[in-house]
Structure 1
Amino acid sequence: MKTLGYYNGKYDEIDKIMIPMSDRSHWFGDGVYDATCARNYKTMAIDEHVDRFFNSARLLNINLGFTKEYLKDLLNELVQKLDDDELFVYWQATRGGNGLRSHNYDKEQKANLWITICPEKITDKDREYKLTSMEDTRFLHCNIKTLNLIPSVVAYQHAKENNCDETVFHRGDIVTECAHSNVHIIKDKKFITHPADEYILPGIARAHLLKACKALNIEVEERPFTVDELINADEVIVSSSGDLCIRATEFEGKAVGKKDSDTFDRLKEYIYQEWLECTKK
């Protein structure tokens, strides 16, 4: 198959899968999701992604109606059906109860499970990003991976229209994250990242960077940092499941970072070697 779409037990090419109009995602964006990449038909960090997915569902009181092992087995089974072996693997659960539109819901109804899989390569490790910024006016549950992504859609479009690769969110002077990535800085050999609180999504790639820092004896500070600190950082790093460890070299049209290649290169190589090792044949 070139692409795969799955909905409640049925699967086919993505454009052939039909979703009921009564699915609560259409009316309320009432659901949660997660996503990762696969290579050689091996799904990257599947345990961590599934754990985060279940936590998001728990925080929104969505009754998934299946176990973590069931979902992992299903994802591993479905990736095998694709022609390509470098893939973007996405899944979401929408709150059960496909009836007429109503704000309230039945807690006992089991969720609707969606999965889409399509060819996609992770970002070239040597690519450099240009960044722009926007005030972060999103709600205060950014740690929950919900379907309500309009602010991120608008922010990412803002980046593209300004010939940039990502938009950095900030609340006043404090940097939070990007439209669909986490953002970090290196200063004086220290890796600095916003704490995993309600203002950011706890990125799996972010967690792997923290583990890499521990392995490489790089000091870590999990604390809020300012826009000015980002501008004056020795390195600026963007990370996500598709952008594992990307150097940013421009912010609002001005050069940033590229002052500590030794620390950055050590981190980058560690992360990409981990990716290759975890997804080797």
Structure 2
Amino acid sequence: MSVILYQDKFLQREQGLVDMEDRGYQFGDGIYEAIRVYNGNLFLMDWHMERLVRSARELRLDLPYSAAELTENIKELVRRNGIDDGLVYFQITRGAHHRQHDFPKGVTPVLTGSASEMVRDPDRTHGISSILADDIRWLRCDIKTLNLLGNVLAKQAAVDSGADEAILHRGDTVTEGTSCNVFIVKDGQLITHEANNFILNGITRRFVFALAEQLQIPVIERDYTVDELLAADEVFITSTGKEVTAVVKIGDQTIADGEAGPITRRLITAFSAEVERVKAGALS
């Protein structure tokens, strides 16, 4: 039986009941984070906490606990569930109140969290397939909110077509995936959409920037088109769950001869090396 985090208490999952008028259910009025665990160690936890604080500020949502308190409780959640390699998910909603659109007064934010095993793919170089999909999401994709229906619809369209992911675009401009950031490689340079309101500034995205600097691979943040995507030398995605994963097919078009390209492979290798450091307790 799994243990969940409810506010600052650890409960059996069936005990964690949330009010039907919680604003997370009724309005998607809340924020969340998902954090990888390697050998029981939380990966890039400080970066996740920084983003959580920013998301809360943008939604004018008062966090019920400090980042330090939440970090300690998440570590304990991992320990109580005996997670080795896995994923922690937690969300904070504005709280429960009779239904009204404006912010209710006197409500208490509600935190819930879970931890589960996630087996790490030892080889991200085999690549995934993707489709293209219109980006129909709202205009504040930089906030990690519970409003994910646009992402869900695009992801389901990918699954229905037999693909693994959907790469989104607004008009002719590529933004990101349904739960990942998208990079292209052209003439030895990484190109990805700038971190503005049209994309989420992914934690793994940021970490790949650091890896690219170490490997002396130039990174350019700018708009790029669907045509540039399809003409890229390499394409890969980044996310907490997928780490760095090659994209080898988009629609009917094969990318990089259907295999991970050399720069993508270098980044996958560098990322895996950092994971091994985390497993040894050398990075958090």
Asked if Structure 1 and Structure 2 have the same fold, meaning a TM-score greater than 0.5 normalized by the shorter chain, the answer is yes
1:192/1:35 CA distance change after superposition, 3 Å = same
Query: How many Å separate the matches in 2 of 1:67 and 1:39?
Result: 24
Q: Tell me if 1:217 matches 2:216.
A: yes
**Counterpart for residue 248 of structure 1:** 247
- Give the equivalent residue in structure 2 for 1:137: 136
Q: Deviations over 1:119-148 (max 9, x none)?
A: 112344233110001111211100000101
Matched, 1:114 2:112: yes
C-alpha deviations, 1:65-110, integer Å up to 9, x for none?
Answer: 32111111111111001134111101111003x2211212246644
Question: Which residue is 2:102 aligned to?
Answer: 104
The answer for the alignment partner of 1:204 in structure 2 is 203
Distance in 2 (CA, whole Å) between partners of 1:269 and 1:6 is: 34
Alignment RMSD (CA, Å): 1.7
Are 1:265 and 2:265 counterparts?
A: yes
Q: Secondary structure at the match of 2:46?
A: helix
Give the Cα separation in 2 of the matches to 1:280 and 1:163.
Answer: 38
Per the alignment, in what secondary structure is the counterpart of residue 243 of structure 2? coil
CA distance in 2, matches of 1:115, 1:267: 31
Contact 1:64–1:110 under 8 Å retained in 2: no
Name the SS for the 1:195 alignment partner.
coil
| Residue 118 (structure 1) shift | 1.2
Larger displacement relative to structure 2 (29-38 or 105-114):
105-114
1:1-281 pair list within 5 angstroms: 3-96=2-95, 98-106=96-104, 109-124=107-122, 125-258=124-257, 261-280=261-280
TM-score by length of 2: 0.93
User: Using the alignment, how far apart are the partners of 1:84 and 1:260 within structure 2?
Assistant: 31
- Secondary structure of 2:17's match? coil
User: Which residues of structure 2 form unaligned runs of 5+?
Assistant: none
Q: Distance in 2 between matches of 1:205 and 1:107?
A: 36
Q: CA deviation at 1:253?
A: 2.1
TM-score w.r.t. the length of structure 1 is 0.94
CA–CA distance in structure 1, aligned partners of residues 121 and 55 of structure 2: 26
For the 8 Å contact 2:248–2:260, the answer to whether it is kept is no
Distance 1:155 1:4, change over 3 A: farther
Fraction of identical pairs, as percent: 33
Alignment-mate amino acid for residue 100 of structure 1: H
CA positional deviation for 1:272: 1.4
1:38 maps to amino acid: V
Q: Which runs of 4+ in 1 moved over 6 A?
A: none
Mapped contact 1:232–1:257 kept (Cα < 8 A): no
The alpha-carbon distance between structure 1 residues 236 and 256, as it changes in their structure 2 partners (threshold 3 A), is same
